[in-house]
Homo-oligomer: A and B are copies of this chain.
Amino acid sequence: MKGLSRKIYLEMQPPTEEDNRSDAERILNKLDEKGYTAKLNLSVLRKLYPICERADYQVTVSVAWNGTEWIAVDLEPGNTAANHYGLAVDLGSTTVSAQLICCETGKLQAQATVSNHQIKYGTDILTRIFYCKDQPEHLEEIRIATVSTIRECLQQLEAQTGIPAASCIQMVVAGNTTMIHFLIGMDPFCIFSSPYAVHQNRPGFLPGQELGIPISGYVFLVPSKSNYLGGDIISGMIATELYRKDEISVFFDIGTNGELVIGNKEFLLCGAGAAGPALEGGVVRTGMRAEAGAVDSVKIDGTRILCHVIGGGTAKGICGSGIIDLLAELFLHGWIDFRGRLQIEKGEPISIGDNNELRVQYSENLFFYQSDIDEFLRTKAAAYTMVSYMLKETGISMEDVSNFYVAGAFGTHVNKESAITIGLYPDIDRERLINAGNTSLEGASQLLLNLEIQKQIDPILDHMVYIQFGAVTDFLQMMVAAQAIPHTDLSLFPSVPDKLSVFRNFNK
């Protein structure tokens, strides 16, 4: 592993009157011999004595890359080169995940996931942003909450492995632009307001101690492309290697926001939209996150709607994957038409609720309303249109797409078939539809373990071309067409009529 840090065991001769070079010089000369032109930081200078003398000049030096040069950041007696650890962090606005990784072997030692402590300042990002807009004390509260979330991860990792953060050298953090602004202690209001120029997008390597993170080396903050395309997406590019492939891929990260990249080693088109919250269940009346009590998968058996509830027990609401299943099943059984309109005569659970609004009861006391369906379809249309608009821009058809990566927790929960049925995912070979998982965390870990990947960041950022969807006139037209289930142009979804024929006579 040739990552962002090295632990180097040095066997040196103790000083004599003939060779009375300083301890520091002795170490630097030896590192130089081994190919590392380094400097010693203050902490190592202070450790030189008595460590060198007591260890008879057999010591292990931790060197950390600071973006420009190697800095010796720790010194231990004896040979501890095998105990070489680093940290990768996905700084999500909802959850923060961290991995403690052995940087000698690349082996994952432990993983921790923690709720972002920022949530007490607002479940959605905008509330948090407004909370600290031009309020330095509030910004500082949120900065501290951010750091304390990471520190909680570090404590969990230590509890699991016995390895304290202080013996980790480097940390790579991937997060969206807002999260990185918060971690540094910068007002992120700029991200959501015209002209959408952020305060910083490439903070690079900052000393852990300065950020309040108790590692010996640096925190590398994965750069962002723009306000809506954060380090989490750049990290996803690295994890999927999309930017270095001959074939064209689509990368779709559905989280709090929806971010999209289409491209290969020649080009990278990207865009972002507020697709996320709706798809995750954020805008429907009984929607909730994919946590205990959420309906996460649905089947219709005859006249009954069967739900799977996370953690078992009574359902409290429905999460994104549940909604997608529900709509697919409603459609396949003819309980909604291709416009998503509930067919009261088709299913017993369909009834008329408040304000004369149609609704379907999917679980005890839980209803999915016509307006929820409409809202969800608008969101799925927006998401699908982001992809198809971009393909159209590049003159590429869905057939030309080799891989369709769905990143984030969303991808891992959603039933692919249901997502295709409702026209959210494209109707392509199923093996080309890849649930890529937490690519932000995966990319961070790759960055930690391979210094060479640093060189890839510039080309990625340079190649990325951001498409502002809102500014595009035919986007809306395309979106209207995509609000049908699966789409007004059925030729785009060839497998859906086959599925329908199983359940009902599609040709009526």
Q: Give the B-binding residues of A (Cβ under 8 A).
A: 15-17, 20-26, 39-42, 45-46, 48-50, 52, 67-69, 134, 184-187, 190, 194-204, 206-207, 210-211, 226-227
Contact = CB atoms under 8 A, between A and B. Distances in A.
A45 B190 contact: no
A118 to B, nearest CB: 18
Q: Is the interface of A mostly helix, strand, loop or mixed?
A: loop
B68 A22 contact: no
Top 5 A-B pairs, shortest CB-CB distance: A15-B197, A24-B200, A20-B197, A17-B195, A22-B201
Given A20-B226, A199-B49, A201-B24, A68 B67 contact: no
A365 to B, nearest CB: 47
Contacts of A211: 42
For A15, A20, A21, A201, the residue with the greatest tally of chain B CB atoms inside 10 Å of its CB is: A20
28 contacts: A15-B195, A16-B195, A20-B196, A20-B197, A20-B226, A21-B197, A22-B197, A22-B199, A22-B201, A22-B202, A23-B198, A24-B201, A24-B203, A26-B197, A39-B68, A41-B206, A42-B207, A45-B184, A46-B185, A46-B186, A48-B186, A48-B199, A48-B200, A49-B187, A49-B199, A52-B199, A68-B68, A68-B69
Nearest to A471: B17
Nearest to A15: B197
A7 to B, nearest CB: 21
Contacts of A26: 197
Given A50-B134, A134-B50, A45 B194 contact: no
B23 A199 contact: yes
Contacts of A15: 195, 197
Please tell me how many copies of the chain the complex holds: 2
Nearest to A46: B185
A218 to B, nearest CB: 11
B68 A200 contact: no
A23 B68 contact: no
A190 B49 contact: yes
B197 A23 contact: yes
A194 B18 CA distance: 11
Given A16-B195, A17-B195, A226-B20, A25 B201 contact: yes
B195 A42 contact: no
For A39, A46, A185, A199, the residue with the greatest tally of chain B CB atoms inside 10 Å of its CB is: A199
A198 B48 CA distance: 10
A205 to B, nearest CB: 9
Given A24-B203, A42-B207, 11 more contacts: A15-B195, A15-B197, A23-B197, A23-B200, A24-B199, A41-B206, A48-B186, A48-B199, A49-B186, A49-B187, A68-B69
Nearest to A227: B20
A22 B41 CA distance: 30
Given A45-B184, A49-B186, A200 B39 contact: no
Given A49-B186, A134-B50, A190-B49, A198 B42 contact: no
Nearest to A209: B210
Contacts of A20: 195-197, 226-227
Contact of A17 (B16, B40, B194, B201): B194
Contacts of A41: 206
A45 B200 contact: yes
Contacts of A196: 17, 20
Contacts of A69: 68
A24 B198 CA distance: 9
Contacts of A52: 199
A114 B26 CA distance: 35
Contacts of A42: 184, 206-207, 210-211
A22 B200 contact: yes
A23 B196 CA distance: 11
A50 B139 CA distance: 13
A45 to B, nearest CB: 5
A69 B23 CA distance: 25
A20 B198 CA distance: 8
A204 B39 contact: yes
A25 B202 contact: yes
A39 B69 CA distance: 13
A52 B17 CA distance: 57
Contacts of A68: 39, 68-69
B45 A199 contact: yes
Contacts of A227: 20
A283 to B, nearest CB: 28
A46 B196 CA distance: 18
A196 B23 CA distance: 11
Nearest to A184: B45
Nearest to A200: B24
